[in-house]
Structure 1
Amino acid sequence: MTAPTSFPWHRPCPVCLADSPEELYLNDMATVDDLDLSYRVARCQHCGFHYAADLAQPATYDAYYRDLSKYDLPPTGNFPSPLEHHRASAALEICRPHIPADATVADIGCGRGALLHTFHGAGHRRLFGLDPAPAGAASLGIGTVRRGGIGDAAHQLPLEELDLVCLTGVLEHLPELHGDMFRLTAFLAPRTRVLIEVPALERFVRPQMEPFGEFSLEHLQYFSRQSLTRLMAGLGYAPLAIDILPLRGASDSLFGLFERAEPPPAAYDKEPAADMATYIKTSRRRLDEVLKRLVAAPPQFALYGAGSYSARLLPKLAELGLLARIKCIVDGNPNLQGKKLGEFSVHSPAVLDKDSTLPVLVSSFHAQAAIVRTLLARNPQRPLCLLYPADDER
């Protein structure tokens, strides 16, 4: 259950390409369907960027997104969700003054298709989507949605025809960030604007926060305004607009809209260390509080949740000698059911119907309230164990 002492892949800083990492944190995660996505968080001593320096090979992440995505499901009646609508509307408003009314738009990493849906609602008809798990967005019937990652964009999308490329919630996930962005921008016309949305490092610490939630199974880069601008400057782009969007129910988003610049922008000062150092210190304290609640949990329980939160908890439970308390792990995502988290198989919540008295420990921060509603609707008498007070959620 412990993270490897050596990792399959070491990489230099994805922003400045220097190889001088200062190790900050070992992100020890349980395997997901036998994929080990543990990594070491580091700070580049040259430019100050924060990133995963030691991690799994890119092919491991390809397999994860292909087979275990939470987005490869058709949108439900609650589509787009309030959060998806808020983010997509903000993206549209940032772009609208800077693109033609009939702009050709591509959304790389389109997920469930909320951004395509929003641009379509604003009158745009030349729309393209690309995602490793495209079923959700493709079911909308909006534009042309194809399967693939950012590395497939050149042969899956008409890049030379685009007025706008959107990369919302993408750059933090890319193992080969610098190479992927270099290859993508090389195919874009000089007029093409690039919209980027990433979690904002400046807002990682907040009153209600999941401990180490920004170090998820998937997040390998941690951007501030300064580091995002520096990355794009190295590719020959300057910001037309850059701002942070406060969000409820998710990390605050850093939005940047970039245009090709001649000559390329100059280099920037070294990014300060304080924001990330405070985040790690605060997360450690909050995780210790969670572990105290886990020690006080019932002698046997079902664990609800098979995502990053549980992947982080299982190694901690192993260290405390508490793994034997878990009778089963359940999750509502069909793509995870039948897979494994660590040594445990992941079951549908229906398995809980076999024992109406088995306590369920809700292993989630952002989704805790929604999971509680689901469980109580199924069995109002079910004993529940919560890791956070109800008013501690976003």
Structure 2
Amino acid sequence: MAEIYGSYAMFHQRGGADHAIRDSQNNTLRSRSGTLLQRFIAWAQPPDWGSLLDIGCGTGPLLQSAAHLRPGWTLAGAEQDDRVRDRILGIPGVALFHAGPLSALDARFDVVSMVHVLEHVADPAGFLRQAASLLAPGGRLLVQVPSLAENPFDLTIADHCSHFTADTLTRVVRSAGLKILHVDRWIPKELSVVAGLPERAAGDPPAMPETGSTAEPTVDLATVERMVAWLHAMGETVEHLAAAGPLGLLGTSVAATWLASQAEDRVSFFMDEDPVMQGTRFLGRPVLAMERVPSSATLFCPMPSAQAHAIRERLVRMKAAFRIEIPPPLPRSVL
């Protein structure tokens, strides 16, 4: 992990821009961080004035969204080093940038956010306790992680120390001594948890960590092994499809990146619906818009089959002229 983060650049293939996700209501592309923050605000109804710290702020997409959605808030960002300091301090409303351990930060915030951070740390409960110590009275901790149960491709990411389900995420939040306030799936294939400090009367002893689970079963080792087998089957599928003609992969995120690395030279191109990526090259291959994909080509959707099926139907409605293939369903015992 030290080697990875020593040369890591957030969203490097996108020039530092946040991931775009498709809004199912109006079929438009929106910032992932902006969508998450908007849905958190709709649920929490925070006042127009307050303070927010984004831990693991990266290039600042959540802080930029906060500056737009809550211009009265005082904002702060935290990272492991100083590489993005100037970029973060240039965001309207950002008054503080902190580099280094959270224990050295002497401040309190109404909202502390951790978007795609917890899966990267070796001691998630301990890290949550550090983050919770930065909450003001009545403050809210917003945690966002990938959902393993919905997306087995999370297993392919080398620097993810933990892979969360709704059950395991709520367990680790409770083990940090925090109170679960809300669990949701505000972003597709991701889990959102809002937590707060437990309330206690003056003189009461500190609250003990909670125990218990959600209705979702814990993903056990046998389930993970079935997920791994399903992932390896994708490579066989790509080899079969590539033998019939030009083959492309949908998207340029984790799933397509991993599968292209497994398929070596069998993948000819990527297709991405995000205009930021169209016309660029990724892993040495062109990134095409839908209308630039040859009619003789096959497009493979490397994602869980339910989502891939919905995307195929949408592309067909958009008059895609090429063949679209999707993976087989995950075993029922997985989801």
TM-score bucket (shorter structure) = 0.5 to 0.7
Match of 2:288 in 1: 349
Q: Distance in 1 between matches of 2:111 and 2:86?
A: 23
Give the whole-Å Cα distance in 2 for the aligned partners of 1:369 and 1:311: 21
Q: TM-score, normalised on structure 1?
A: 0.55
Q: Tell me: CA distance 1:346–1:194, structure 2 relative to 1, closer, same or farther (3 Å).
A: farther
- One-letter amino acid of the structure 1 residue matched with residue 255 of structure 2: Y
1:95–1:257 CA contact under 8 A, matched in 2 = no
Residue correspondences, number: 304
> Which of 176, 181, 184 is the equivalent residue of 1:245?
184
1:275 aligned counterpart, secondary structure: coil
Normalising by structure 2, we get a TM-score of 0.62
The residue aligned with 1:307 is: 253
Secondary structure at the aligned position of 1:294 is classed as: helix
CA deviations on 1:34-79 (whole Å, 9 max, x unpaired) are xxxxxxxxxxxxxxxxxxxxxxx23413533446375822798989
Report the equivalent of 1:91: 40
Task: Rate the CA distance shift 1:107–1:311 in 2: closer, same or farther, 3 A.
Answer: same
Task: Flag the 1:386–1:112 CA change in 2: closer, same or farther, 3 A.
Answer: farther
> Which one of 381, 386, 389 corresponds to residue 321 of structure 2?
381
Q: 3-state DSSP class of the match of 1:163?
A: strand
**Match of 1:226?**
171
Structure 1 residues 95, 195: closer, same or farther in 2, change over 3 A? farther
Indicate the residue corresponding to 1:359 in structure 2.
298
Residue in 1 that maps onto 2:197:
258
Aligned positions of 1:59-78 closer than 5 A = 59-66=3-10, 68=12, 72-73=16-17
Identify the structure with bigger relative contact order (alpha carbons < 8 Å, sequence gap 6+): 1
- Which of 267, 287, 291 lines up with 1:326 in the alignment? 267
- Aligned mates of 1:336, 1:58 — CA distance in 2: 33
Alpha-carbon distance change, 257 to 175 in structure 1, aligned in 2, over 3 angstroms: same
Deviation at 1:227, TM superposition (A): 1.6
**Would the alpha carbon gap of residues 92 and 72 (structure 1) be closer, same or farther in structure 2, given more than 3 Å must change?**
same
Letter in 2 for 1:81: R
Aligned residues of 1:358 and 1:382 also touching (Cα < 8 A): yes
Q: 1:69 to 1:264 in 2, by over 3 A?
A: farther
Which residue, out of 128, 132, 144, partners 2:94? 144
Equivalent position amino acid for 1:255 in 2: V
Indicate the residue corresponding to 2:332 in structure 1.
none
CA displacement 1:346-367 (0-9 Å, x = unmatched): 43327x9596634343434557
Structure 1 unpaired stretches of 5+: 1-56, 318-322, 390-394
- SS of 1:225 mapped into structure 2: helix
Rounded to whole Å, the distance in 2 between the matches of 1:126 and 1:384 is: 47
Equivalent residues of 1:190, 1:260 under 8 A apart:
no
Shift of 1:287: 3.8
- Which residue number in structure 1 is paired with residue 333 of structure 2? none
Paired residues of 1:302 and 1:330 also in contact (CA < 8 A): no
Residue in structure 2 matched with residue 170 of structure 1 by the alignment:
117
Give, as a single letter, the amino acid of the residue that structure 2 aligns with 1:347: P
Alpha-carbon distance, 1:245 to partner: 0.9
Is 1:276 aligned with 2:222? no
Q: Distance in 2 between matches of 1:82 and 1:268?
A: 34
Does the CA contact (< 8 Å) of 1:68 and 1:335 recur in 2? Answer: no
Distance 1:136 1:245, change over 3 A: farther
Distance 2:308 2:15 in 1: 16
Quote the offset at 1:113 in angstroms.
Answer: 3.5
What is the CA-CA distance between 1:144 and the residue it aligns to? 1.5
Report if the CA contact (8 A) 1:309-1:363 is conserved. Answer: yes
- 2:20 equivalent to 1:81: no
Aligned-pair Cα RMSD in Å: 5.2
For the residues of structure 1 that align with 2:197 and 2:113, how far apart are their CA atoms? 10
Of 38, 43, 49 in structure 2, the residue corresponding to residue 102 of structure 1 is 49
Secondary structure of the residue aligned to 1:381 is coil
The CA distance in 2 between the partners of 1:164 and 1:347, in whole Å, is 41
CA distance in 2, matches of 1:63, 1:364: 28
Aligned-pair CA distance for 1:264:
3.6
Q: 5+ residue gaps in structure 2?
A: 330-335
8 Å Cα contact 1:242/1:255 also seen in 2: yes
**Distance change >3 Å, CA 105–CA 314, structure 1 → 2:** closer
CA deviation string 1:294-316 (max 9, x = no partner): 35414143433443213443565
**Divergent runs of 4+, >6 A:** 74-80, 131-139, 145-149, 152-155, 270-273, 367-377
How far is 1:337 from its partner? 5.2
Matches of 2:279 and 2:98, distance apart in 1:
20
Q: CA deviation at 1:200?
A: 7.9
8 Å Cα contact 1:193/1:259 also seen in 2 = no
Aligned pairs (5 A) from 1:183-194: 188=134, 191=137, 193-194=139-140
